[in-house]
Structure 1
């Protein structure tokens, strides 16, 4: 970001150089590592340019002999300052251009810089010859051309670096490129315009120089001011590929105009034009080699991802926004039994259970709306059942996310997990021996029955049952025989109530039944059920080759207004113990007012 912009006299432009250098140095203090080094190089480059301007603008007023010596020394010092300005400025930007990426990437950046700079240098040489043909001083013309060369080389590098940045980081480099273009314009005006280069009382070269340097001073503080010299590996946009050809066209037009005007085509002009053509050829080769490298890397990534997808046990599906399947991974054969080619082209929801269809379609519609609005949410996770090729329903968890072609589904078969979870839940609320609900589930059913009770329905009733004589059977015939007796008793209890009623094993030889609705109409229906239970449980049990006989004590409690589940269960338990105290093999009933009825 350095340039040598030198009016013939004055200190305004050197001061502007110093201001721009100070801005870069201040910005460098807040940077780290190699970024600080590059900003420092560019700052010193600006100071060298200011020194060159300050020295070259002096006009010694000494005797002729000493003036010649002083003039030569001044010219040498000015040339040294210009060389330092050029060298340090190019060094800072070359370090930035070659940062990150492969050698082919930064070689292409440097070739782009040279094609741009070489074309503009050819234009500058044509202008120099034009001025020489007009009889101007050759030394001052060469010095003016050297300034233009400095601007053009740095401008070419800066343009190449700019296209390596993200769009958000280009503000600083864009402003710096505009600044270099203004500085180049100022130096060209010094070559083309007679001294002092004033138009309407405005010194155009000096004005351009100061304006450009002020923009250089502001550039480091704009977005991307630090990252502009910390280039990462990024792919160049189309405009970056086309941009280097623009100065080539300008170069050709300048050569054509020079030749048509009868100008002399010298060795320098031919060398510059030839180097530009060689640069274009080398750039094309580097770009082609880089393109082949990218194609090989893309093919390798595609093969790697294809291997991962094909080897995954999850079913990966890609669908467009209309729900049409575009791709189905081979895992669908093992999971669902379908062939991928038979599913491609079908539409969602495919083989989804009707009860789960709404959740799936809602998630798909939400993601479709996000894609239409340009937003990208976190995706969705949907659980549904999918019918496999054998007709069975498989439980599936699908993660749905956005994809460049629409939506991508990552589906996993969780049927075994769901079934295991259902088994664990069943074991947590059911008796392992008889399969009946246990005490926890029975208490929950009682609470639910009390909550849904209304004035028009009969109150629920709870029957507590204890097997009389079970301990004797268990002790005499063994625990295995006792387990068989308990399972048989559980079946008889279930056969004595309706399907909507609940029979549970509370523990040991204790059972309970919850009667709801019409079956709980007090007292006749409850009594009938209790008598049926007592009769069924008192029948002999065939265990292996022997018959075991037990009886039962039954306690009955009917819900009253305001009673709690615990109170209802406690009343039934009390009634059962009353039945045992009354001689066993009988029924006792408790309600708002306990009754002394006993049925033997």
Structure 2
């Protein structure tokens, strides 16, 4: 769009007469601003409408001045005075309306002090340039050139310079992506100011290789004004409250004063005379500078008070919370730790300053923690402020114990901020609940749900020709009599002793479970399940352990056990495997109790050929004259039907 605007201005300069090109450019800029105002709302519409009125008044001023120059000496007194009045009035309207439009934009956002500071910044820039322009006008008058004839041209310079100063002040009050339109507007004012200054300083007609320089600058500036509102930020509201100024912003305020001093000094040194106007302008700049610095100081006092209040509130919140707040730099070094760290982790906050991540984190939890930290570090490097990350890890307490911690990691101006909470009690309660859900409350052994899950897991991980798992199903014979005669407390103690004997009779990697009542089960994997005779050895060891006398509260209790065994064939399900073991155990009871029975069904899949040592026969393990368990065909029954 800017390239098109420059091309259009070049075309107008080359092919249109000055008396047509400049008024046409004024009309184009005014229409563009009005059209853009139709699509805006609120103060933005008012601002654009004022700019359009200023441009239109400037065009009217140009037409009046052109008529005065064209018919010099031919106009009657009344017509000459009328044109002069029209030119002065149009110029005054252009000046007042343009400044009003910029002031509306500048004062649209921020506090009252910030808005006043922006206006003073604009005046200081404009005042310094006005002083320079007036000095040039005095210099021309000292050279015996009619100063009054140049005063009309200088009036337009006043308008351009004042608007230029306010636009510069407004530009730095906008967000960076929204500065394009204001930057183009500043360039347009530079071109218009150059045009009007050329009319003052250059002798007529002021051409360069046949190109009218003043007209070329005017047309270029006006076309840039026509384009500016359609660029990024053309309808932006100045809503950035830039209360904290950078150092360059404070130092830059002295530049306009230096311009005034240099201009007046140079004019005096070459012998020029000085009147009251530049002195008043220079004095106003000094006053504006003093007021501006006072405003900045007052605003900084407000900022300091607000910051102190916020810091006190922040300290009260951080110091009063039981969560540990930690600020870490992007390099992973601790910058701040809240006092709660001493209560939660046992470390003094000052001892943790300067330490690097990972900070006392469990080695097994390093990966998720450092992954979250690296993600936030990459986001900060790319300018992205994504959502916080939640990480759970274990942190070593000062006493050497591990504490479970939940942390939320978020972006911070100094790097990252960790909000950490000790959830050890909650994790312990959750572990207790999970243990109760899958373990027997009396004996602590796995319950039926967990045992079934482990059987399913053993079946899933079994591969072809690998050792099949074996399942033993046990029921205590005579437990009901002990429980009824000696009481439930003795019965419970007997069950606990039986559970310990079961655990001692198998390997650590095998699983022993209490299924309910006086029923127990064991899952034998690996070597124990490779051969029925080896599984039988485990079963006999269990039977021998369970039939030993129980010393409970000074009394001796005797019980026996019936044990059913089964080996997993390909394709069997966990429920079927448990049913087979239960059938074998029931057959052991039918055979006289205190016995071991093996369930040995036919293979379920074609192509499965058990080896002779696999023991898949109908022969019972107890004696050759007893029927095999699989011949009974009796379905499973639950604990309590035999021994309630």
Which of 234, 255, 278 aligns to 2:242? It is: 234
Is residue 2:425 matched to residue 1:416?
yes
Looking at structure 1, the residues matched to 18 and 464 of structure 2 have their Cα atoms a distance apart, in angstroms, of 109
- Structure 1 residues 16 and 322: CA distance shift in structure 2, 3 A: closer
Looking at structure 2, the residues matched to 270 and 142 of structure 1 have their Cα atoms a distance apart, in angstroms, of 18
Looking at structure 1, the residues matched to 484 and 208 of structure 2 have their Cα atoms a distance apart, in angstroms, of 125
Is residue 2:98 matched to residue 1:89?
yes
Alignment of 1:254-273 (within 5 A): 254-273=263-282
- Structure 1 residues 267 and 8: CA distance shift in structure 2, 3 A: farther
Q: Deviations over 1:508-533 (max 9, x none)?
A: 32211112233335333333332333
TM-score, scaled relative to structure 1 = 0.90
| 1:512 counterpart residue number | 521
TM-score, scaled relative to structure 2 = 0.84
Count residues with an aligned counterpart: 593
| 1:161 counterpart residue number | 170
| 1:4 counterpart residue number | none
| 1:151 counterpart residue number | 160
Is residue 2:291 matched to residue 1:289?
no
| Contact 1:382 1:398 survives alignment (8 Å) | yes
| Contact 1:11 1:54 survives alignment (8 Å) | no
Q: Deviations over 1:262-309 (max 9, x none)?
A: 222112222122112211222222222223332333333333333332
Q: Deviations over 1:371-390 (max 9, x none)?
A: 66777665654433222122
Looking at structure 2, the residues matched to 322 and 134 of structure 1 have their Cα atoms a distance apart, in angstroms, of 67
Which structure 2 residue ranges, 5 or more long, are not aligned? 1-15, 601-615, 627-644
Is residue 2:304 matched to residue 1:310?
no
SS of aligned partner of 2:19: coil
| 2:226 counterpart residue number | 217
| 1:389 counterpart residue number | 398
- How far did 1:39 drift? 0.9
| Contact 1:8 1:57 survives alignment (8 Å) | no
Is residue 2:154 matched to residue 1:130?
no
| 1:342 counterpart residue number | 351
SS of aligned partner of 1:465: strand
Is residue 2:74 matched to residue 1:30?
no
Looking at structure 2, the residues matched to 10 and 454 of structure 1 have their Cα atoms a distance apart, in angstroms, of 98
- Structure 1 residues 142 and 598: CA distance shift in structure 2, 3 A: same
| Contact 1:8 1:56 survives alignment (8 Å) | no
Alignment of 1:533-544 (within 5 A): 533-541=542-550
Which structure 1 residue ranges, 5 or more long, are not aligned? 1-6
Looking at structure 2, the residues matched to 210 and 579 of structure 1 have their Cα atoms a distance apart, in angstroms, of 112
- How far did 1:364 drift? 4.6
- How far did 1:404 drift? 4.6
- Structure 1 residues 458 and 9: CA distance shift in structure 2, 3 A: closer
Is residue 2:219 matched to residue 1:195?
no
Looking at structure 2, the residues matched to 550 and 277 of structure 1 have their Cα atoms a distance apart, in angstroms, of 109
| Contact 2:329 2:416 survives alignment (8 Å) | yes
| 2:592 counterpart residue number | 583
Looking at structure 2, the residues matched to 500 and 270 of structure 1 have their Cα atoms a distance apart, in angstroms, of 100
Looking at structure 2, the residues matched to 49 and 105 of structure 1 have their Cα atoms a distance apart, in angstroms, of 30
Looking at structure 1, the residues matched to 199 and 374 of structure 2 have their Cα atoms a distance apart, in angstroms, of 66
- How far did 1:471 drift? 4.0
Looking at structure 2, the residues matched to 155 and 60 of structure 1 have their Cα atoms a distance apart, in angstroms, of 27
Is residue 2:210 matched to residue 1:186?
no
| 1:3 counterpart residue number | none
| Contact 1:466 1:509 survives alignment (8 Å) | yes
| 2:618 counterpart residue number | 594
- How far did 1:212 drift? 0.6
- How far did 1:175 drift? 1.1
| Contact 1:161 1:231 survives alignment (8 Å) | no
- How far did 1:154 drift? 1.0
| Contact 2:142 2:273 survives alignment (8 Å) | no
SS of aligned partner of 2:562: strand
Which of 465, 469, 472 aligns to 1:460? It is: 469
Looking at structure 2, the residues matched to 356 and 61 of structure 1 have their Cα atoms a distance apart, in angstroms, of 88
Looking at structure 2, the residues matched to 10 and 361 of structure 1 have their Cα atoms a distance apart, in angstroms, of 72
